[in-house]
Every structure is written in C-alpha cells, then in structure tokens.
Amino acid sequence: MTLQANDHRQPGFRRVLTPDRIRNITFKKSPLGRRGVDPDEVELFQRRLAEEIAAGEAENARLRAEIDRLRNWYRDHGENVDAVPAQQLDVQAVNLLSEAQLQAEAYIAQAEAHCRRVTVDARRQADAILHDAQQRAEDAAQEAAHAYRARAGDGYAAELEEMERRLAWLRAFSHAVQVQLQATSSAFAQEIDKLARLPEKLRKSGTDVEES
C-alpha cells in the first residue's frame, strides 16, 4: 500500500496514520535543479517514526487493559467507577503552577530585600548627616563663645555670649545640612537626568544597534 504525501483526500475523511502507512509512504522527487532532501535520511526517519508510534500503541493497549482490569475489580467490589468525576486534577499542571508561584515569590522577596537595604542605608546616612552637623555646630558654638569672651573685655554679658553661641550653632548647623542636601540633591538630579536619557537611547537602539 502506498500513500502519496500530497494526496488530496476527500474532505471529512481522515485516514488513520499507522506505523505501516508511515513506513510505506512515498514522496515525489523534487524536479531537477530544485533543492530536495536526502531520500535515505527521510527513509530512516520514517522507520524511526513508525517504531515510536507502534510502541505508543502497544503502551496504550497495555494501559487500557489495566484500566479495564481495575474497573472490573472496583465493579466487583461495589464501587461506582463509571461516573466520570466532574474535574480531573492534573498533578503536572498543579506542580507547574506551584513552581511559577515560587518563582514569583523569589522575585518579590528579592525586591523587598533590596528595598530594605536601601532604607537602612538611607537612615544610616541621615543619622550620620545629622550627627555630623550637630558636631560641627557644637564646635562652632564653642569657638564663637570663646571669641566673644576674648573680645568682650569689660563689656562681657552672659546673655550676649549665649546669643553668640546659639547664632553660631544655628549657622553652622544649617550650613552643614545645606551642603549635604546640595550634594545629595545634585546626585539625585544626575540620576534623574540619566533616567530621562534612557527612553531616547532605547528609541535610537531600535533603529541603530551601533548606538549604545
């Protein structure tokens, strides 16, 4: 029995592809001058495919027999096995979904850990900035009080010294904080600029791979 690969069958008629049909299928030779495939390889593949299908059919038969045997056993023991359960659980699908869930959780956990590190760093930095500013302010206040006492002479007044001290403290504190804020805010602005340039880059790389 032979079967033409380009056999135009009548619609609605599906012939079962058996191992035997696969083995005996013949292909038309491609016209001279047109490219084709090695007929030996095709034949090898046909045999291989036929074997696979034959093996699958044998396995199917074995399983059907097993199912029949089990069904009969249950029937004999009074269990109703003929009603098909409403929904069959596909354990592979369950496991696949579980894996996807774990994967997603790993990403989320990573993002949270990153967020935690950033927050901890930011708090530490804020503490350091404040501590540093306070220290500088303390020093400046001491210095101002000292200078006032040195130049006050007879006109010394405790209230004036305290005022000098406080003024120097506030000036030094706000200066120190300002310097830090400026440094931070310009670093931040640079980051923003980088981000703003990103879409442009992406647009360009869409047409021109060289640009990067």
Q: How far apart are CA 52 and CA 49, in angstroms?
A: 5
For another protein, the binding residues in 100-129 under the rule CB under 8 A are: 101-102, 104-105, 108-109, 112-113, 115-116, 119-120, 122-123, 126
Q: What share of the chain is helix, strand, coil (3-state, %, to 5)?
A: 75, 0, 25
89 touches another protein by CB under 8 A: yes
> Which CB, 4 or 135, lies closer to another protein?
135
Is 134 within 8 Å of 172 (Cβ atoms)? no
Structure tokens at 155: 């006109």
Torsion over CA of 16, 19, 23 and 26, rounded to 10 degrees? 10
Specify the stretch interacting with another protein by CB under 8 A; choose among 41-49, 91-99, 163-171, 186-194. Answer: 91-99
Range 19-33 burial, b when 16+ CB lie within 10 A, else e: bebbeebeeeeeeee
185 touches another protein by CB under 8 A: no
> Which CB, 114 or 149, lies closer to another protein?
114
Among 61, 97, 128, 198, binds another protein (CB under 8 A): 97
| Binding track, positions 39-78, relative to another protein; x by CB under 8 A | ----------------------------------------
Is 135 within 8 Å of 172 (Cβ atoms)? no
Specify the stretch interacting with another protein by CB under 8 A; choose among 38-46, 50-58, 92-100, 142-150. Answer: 92-100
DSSP states of 77-108 = TT----SPPSS---HHHHHHHHHHHHHHHHHH
What does the binding site for another protein look like in residue numbers (CB under 8 A)? 79, 87, 89-91, 93-95, 97-98, 101-102, 104-105, 108-109, 112-113, 115-116, 119-120, 122-123, 126, 134
